[in-house]
Amino acid sequence: MGTSLATGLSKAKESAAAAKEAVLAAKAKLEGGRVDLSMLYVSSEYDYGKAVDAVRKATNNAPLIGASSAGEFTEKRVEKGSVAVGLLSSDDIKVFTALAEGVKENPEAAMRRVAANLPREVEGYPHLTAIILVDGLSGAGEEVALLTSYLSGHKLKVVGGMAGDDFKMTKTFVFSNDKVRTNALSACLLASKMPLFTGVKHGHTPLSEELKASRTKGNVLYEINGRPAWEIWKKETAQVARKRGIDVEQLKTPAEIAQFLTNYMLGLATGKDGQYKTRWPESVNKDGSLNFTCGIAQGAIFRIMDSSNLENQINAAEKAARIARKSAENAGHSEFAGIIVFDCAHRQMLLGDRFSEAVDRFKRVLPDVPMLGLETYGEIRLEPGEFSGFHNSTSVVLLLPSSTG
């Protein structure tokens, strides 16, 4: 049988009906094949518990992982306010799931509890890849990515993302089997006979000179170069924003500020020439400090990034897919069962009506390959030997070969 991925998507009004329609559409494509894993992404417009129950019932209680979302897509279409389902069927992949609560207060303890419920090795299935989904408002994205070494040591590949809530910024959820939880992380370990392949890319360029995070605590950046963070952010972006018709001093509402900050993120140097990891400042506090979706280290040197070149944003999707495909081809794989995408919801905001063009770039690289996509509040991609795997405003892809080759 090898490996197959089938997808379905629905915008039916009622939660259980939407989930059932999506999962049955995916099951039909499997043509009677068993379901080894359900992946479920649900808009905040729906009741998450009812959607999970419907998918579990339709798949004979197959293991499930998923999250609330800020946009969903498959190889067929791009949507917001929908339910998307991906069903994995494979003779070459074993699936294990786990969930832990309390990730905001103690991400290390949460990861330890997850690790205790997942195997460190699986006989006959030497390649290990973890999908990690995290409460998108926990501020623990970076910490969770760093702590994945608890799962299976240094040979583990990790992909995933932060749950969304359609930019309501109130509460996000992750799913594991029958459980629907906030302030939690959900993990799925894929133990496979063949390697799985990943890629990541963003389309931002540096705008400011180097700046220093002079006072931080957790995921809050209080001061830059000894001044209030929002004050410096406005100063460094005012000129380029003005050319786009934006007066930074007139940004008042949380929605206006969030949209603005989506265009001007924090960029941490990676040590590789010209490469940066982006961090999204999701909101501004009354004291002028900035809230991020992950921790910001005090003393960190960074630049403010510019995302205004939409062609770069669209090209980033294609580059991420090409990175994964090139790695697969180098390992002798040329036929693929599916592509799982964790794409930043900010990219959808930036691109607007052109977001579907970015999704089409995945299909350009991998034509006729089933695809399941989640719009996230932050992405995870960690390859063996890397020390930091949390990202913002990127496309992260997981590419599944159709057989052992």
Confidence check: pLDDT of 254 > 90: no
168 by Cβ neighbours in 10 Å (0-12 / 13-18 / 19+) ranks as: exposed
Q: Residues 89-112: what's their mean pLDDT?
A: 97
In the prediction, which pLDDT does 383 show?
Answer: 87
The b/e string for 276-301 (b: 16+ C-beta within 10 A; e otherwise) is bbbbbbbebeeebbbbbbbbbeeebe
Q: Determine which of 27-36, 50-59, 172-181, 220-229 has the lowest per-residue pLDDT on average.
A: 27-36
Task: Tell me the sheet residues that pair with 41.
Answer: 67, 84
The Cα 303–Cα 403 span in angstroms is 43
- The residue whose two tokens read 């990676």 is 270
> How many CB atoms lie under 10 A from the CB of residue 117?
14
Query: Which DSSP string do the residues of 8-30 spell out, in sequence order?
Result: EEE--SSHHHHHHHHHHHHHHHH
Query: Which DSSP string do the residues of 88-101 spell out, in sequence order?
Result: EEESSEEEEEEEEE
In the prediction, which pLDDT does 275 show?
Answer: 75
Helix axes 229-243, 254-263, angle to 10 degrees: 70
Is-contact 379 333, C-beta < 8 A? no
Q: Residues 292-301: what's their mean pLDDT?
A: 88
In the prediction, which pLDDT does 371 show?
Answer: 98
pTM recorded for the entire structure: 0.88
In the prediction, which pLDDT does 31 show?
Answer: 82
242: tokens are 């003005």
Q: Residues 8-31: what's their mean pLDDT?
A: 97
Confidence check: pLDDT of 142 > 90: no
Q: Residues 240-254: what's their mean pLDDT?
A: 90
In the prediction, which pLDDT does 388 show?
Answer: 62
Task: Tell me the sheet residues that pair with 130.
Answer: 158, 189
The CA–CA distances, whole Å, from 336 to 182, 210, 405 equal 34, 42, 10
Give the angle subtended at the CA of 175 by the CAs of 374 and 12, to the nearest 5°. 60
pLDDT digits over 120-136, tens only?
Answer: 999 999 999 999 999 99
Radius of gyration of the chain (CA): 20
- Sketch the domain layout of the chain as residue ranges: 3-201+312-401, 205-308
Cα atoms found within 13 Å of the Cα of residue 61, Cβ hemisphere only: 2
Provide the percentage of residues in the chain whose pLDDT is more than 90: 76
Confidence check: pLDDT of 153 > 80: no
Provide the percentage of residues in the chain whose pLDDT is more than 70: 97
Does residue 153 or residue 119 have the better pLDDT? 119
pLDDT digits over 269-279, tens only?
Answer: 776 656 788 88
Confidence check: pLDDT of 244 > 60: yes
Three-class SS state of 262: helix
Confidence check: pLDDT of 387 > 80: no
Q: Determine which of 5-14, 18-27, 120-129, 291-300 has the lowest per-residue pLDDT on average.
A: 291-300
pLDDT digits over 54-70, tens only?
Answer: 999 999 999 999 999 99
Which residues, 6 or more positions from 404, have their beta carbon under 8 angstroms from its beta carbon? 2, 92, 193, 194
333: tokens are 């794989």
In the prediction, which pLDDT does 253 show?
Answer: 87
pLDDT digits over 175-184, tens only?
Answer: 999 999 999 9
The Cα 350–Cα 313 span in angstroms is 8
Confidence check: pLDDT of 109 > 90: yes
In the prediction, which pLDDT does 272 show?
Answer: 67
The Cα 104–Cα 207 span in angstroms is 32
Confidence check: pLDDT of 168 > 80: yes
Q: Residues 30-34: what's their mean pLDDT?
A: 86
User: φ and ψ at 397, to 5 degrees?
Assistant: -125, 145
Mean pLDDT of the chain, nearest integer = 93
The amino acid at residue 153 is G
The Cα 282–Cα 116 span in angstroms is 33
219-222 own/partner pairs: CB under 8 Å, 24+ apart: 219/139, 219/140, 219/291, 219/292, 219/293, 219/294, 219/295, 219/296, 220/285, 220/289, 220/290, 220/291, 220/292, 220/296, 221/266, 221/281, 221/289, 221/290, 221/292, 221/296, 222/287, 222/289
